[in-house]
Structure 1
Amino acid sequence: MLKLNIKNETSRLQAVLLGIAKSNGPVPTPEEAYDPKSREHILSGTYPHEENMIKEMEAVVKVFEKHNVKVYRPELIGNCNQIFARDIAFVIDDIFIKSNILPDRDKEIHAIDYLIEQIPPDKVITLPEKAHVEGGDIILYNDYIFAGTYTRADYPGYITARTNIHAVKELTKLFPNKTVKAFDLRKSNTNARENVLHLDCCFQPVAHNKAIIYKDGFLNKTDYLWLVNFFGKENVFEINKEEMYNMFSNIFSISPEVVISDKSFVRLNNWLKDQGMTVEEVSYAEIGKQGGLLRCSTMPLIRE
């Protein structure tokens, strides 16, 4: 049986689910795009090629192997985008929570049935249907669960709004010993520079007590200020709109001392190195064209 354990974003990683890019399906039409960044690349003819995305993901596998991390992959579903493993489920403590994601993507969870069968059944949770949530909106910080959401009345009009207040309430009930802190995120169906798809597109903890934050990703300035105060201004790396668009906050921690980052994130990577961290640099720009990066394509299962 798999003994799950995830309490934060940075403790030493032991096992992870990494998505796959094989048999990714045809280039979607603009109408089929789930997010404005994908749509942008579909319209400009720069949507990523499958072989390039496979190559990018295999480089990440090599980094995990180098650091003795057990890597699980989904089973293959033909002509299906299975890159973004973070969307379909997430782990809090030793509980595996199935996401209620876009209906078109329901089948992706069945590609990891073999994994779910290794988890004690009482540790597998399916939230009520009205509780919409994706793993990219859930960030753990020990006794805190940070949740990205969108609470305004026009929620149904945004394909980019993935986590609602019902999910926040369910998580609060499921984890009474933790503080669930919700953040309203900026959404746009058409402009990738004005859209924060998930919380990890504008915020992520790194190392022991530091964080990457994009100020304008939050609809309420008080939320941004709360985070800066929580981590301490000296421990926060602030990114700008272009860096958010390129997903600087969507890196992935193997431990408090080691992160995987895109090699083009020079300003961020230099800061991380200045903090004494090892930065495993990979190319992930092709996958990034679909609105997700390193954190989006990984679902941690076990950390120390």
Structure 2
Amino acid sequence: MMLKLNVNDETSRLRAVVLGTAQSNGPTPTIEEAYDPKSLEHIIAGTYPLEIDMVAEMEGFHNVFKKYNVEVFRPEVIKDYNQIFTRDIGFVIDDKFVKANILPDRDRELPAIDYVLQQINPHNIISAPVNVHIEGGDVMLWNDHVFIGTYKGSDYKDYITARTNMEGVEFIKEMFPNKIVKEFDLVKSKIEPRDNALHLDCCFQPVGSSKGIIYKSGFREESDYMYLVKLFGKENLFHIEREEMYNMNSNIFSIDTNVVVSERSFKRLNNWLRSNDFVVEEISYKEIAKQEGLLRCSTLPLIRD
């Protein structure tokens, strides 16, 4: 049975998804092994999440997918390896699966979903050239738009937190000439997680058919922030604050235009969502959040209606 890929936006009814796994996640990384400033903060503090807690959180997420009859694929488990954040290893635009070029330390994650890729027409699988850096957390679909987070600083190569380069943006423009591809220059920090938009979904995400969650200070250029304000309308955007951005409030996940999975501690956001007639499925995900990733990061949607 072949998978007929289809993803045109972030919020249409989800039918099939790859959900990461926290099983056999491995020991707590060393300071030198940290990929991002938030993990580093918790490694130093001795509060880095435990596998048993992360497995439980992901099962809670899996149970929500079961409730909505979503077909869920999980990566094959690699011993002592972090496979939680499947969003980074690839993404679907329309009916094409784009294999991401991610950090070299993570290059074993994609082969762990080979059994899924084998169910996709090989003509619909795109591999990026080696000079193209692009991760799924930076790629966001909105009807005829593709929003892409990037970092335009000349010191790109010095930042482990800079994950998508301008070559990645140009590659998507070439591959999808029918789309409006708009890049956003993101604020990066190697040491302060409150000032680090690791991916675009750390400072922006659409919800429903006309709304979005946004963190203004995640954008290096005010004109990029204003682009989204003009597109969505300021009254339709929920503005999060620095500490809410740090806690990953913009990294929730939509199962449908009116159904959102969110962290139960996001009180202000969840109240706003409910006041706008969303069904909010609240789960605990705060341990996984310590690795600077949340619900969107641990999903790779394959089919939406």
Q: TM-score range by the shorter chain?
A: over 0.9
How high is the TM-score relative to the length of structure 2?
0.99
Shift of residue 226, structure 1, vs aligned partner: 1.1
**Which whole-Å CA distance do the structure 2 matches of 1:225 and 1:114 have between them?**
42
Aligned length: 304
Provide, for residues 35-65 of structure 1, a one-character-per-residue CA deviation record: whole Å limited to 9, x for no partner: 0000000000000000000000000111000
**Which whole-Å CA distance do the structure 1 matches of 2:118 and 2:34 have between them?**
32
Q: Is 1:7 aligned to 2:11, yes or no?
A: no
**Which whole-Å CA distance do the structure 2 matches of 1:300 and 1:211 have between them?**
19
**Which whole-Å CA distance do the structure 2 matches of 1:61 and 1:170 have between them?**
33
Shift of residue 142, structure 1, vs aligned partner: 0.8
Q: Which runs of 5+ in 2 are unaligned?
A: none
State the match for 2:112 in structure 1: 111
State the match for 1:210 in structure 2: 211
**Which whole-Å CA distance do the structure 1 matches of 2:27 and 2:152 have between them?**
34
How high is the TM-score relative to the length of structure 1?
1.00
Q: Give the 3-state SS of the residue equivalent to 1:296 in structure 2.
A: helix
Provide, for residues 87-107 of structure 1, a one-character-per-residue CA deviation record: whole Å limited to 9, x for no partner: 110000010001000001001
Shift of residue 152, structure 1, vs aligned partner: 1.4
Superposed counterparts of 1:226-237, under 5 Å: 226-237=227-238
Q: Give the 3-state SS of the residue equivalent to 1:208 in structure 2.
A: coil
**Which whole-Å CA distance do the structure 1 matches of 2:135 and 2:172 have between them?**
12
**Which whole-Å CA distance do the structure 1 matches of 2:179 and 2:141 have between them?**
10
Q: Give the 3-state SS of the residue equivalent to 1:285 in structure 2.
A: coil
Shift of residue 80, structure 1, vs aligned partner: 0.3
Superposed counterparts of 1:257-296, under 5 Å: 257-296=258-297
Q: Which amino acid aligns with 1:255?
A: D
Superposed counterparts of 1:1-304, under 5 Å: 1-304=2-305
The alignment-based identity, stated in percent, is 62
Provide, for residues 145-192 of structure 1, a one-character-per-residue CA deviation record: whole Å limited to 9, x for no partner: 000000111000000000000010010010000000000000001110
**Which whole-Å CA distance do the structure 1 matches of 2:183 and 2:292 have between them?**
22
**Which whole-Å CA distance do the structure 1 matches of 2:78 and 2:59 have between them?**
18
**Which whole-Å CA distance do the structure 2 matches of 1:263 and 1:220 have between them?**
32
Shift of residue 301, structure 1, vs aligned partner: 0.4
Shift of residue 79, structure 1, vs aligned partner: 0.5
Provide, for residues 88-142 of structure 1, a one-character-per-residue CA deviation record: whole Å limited to 9, x for no partner: 1000001000100000100110000000011011100110110101000000001
Name the Cα RMSD after superposition.
0.4
Q: Which runs of 5+ in 1 are unaligned?
A: none
**Which whole-Å CA distance do the structure 1 matches of 2:205 and 2:96 have between them?**
21
Q: Give the 3-state SS of the residue equivalent to 2:21 in structure 1.
A: coil
**Which whole-Å CA distance do the structure 2 matches of 1:198 and 1:229 have between them?**
21
**Which whole-Å CA distance do the structure 1 matches of 2:195 and 2:252 have between them?**
20
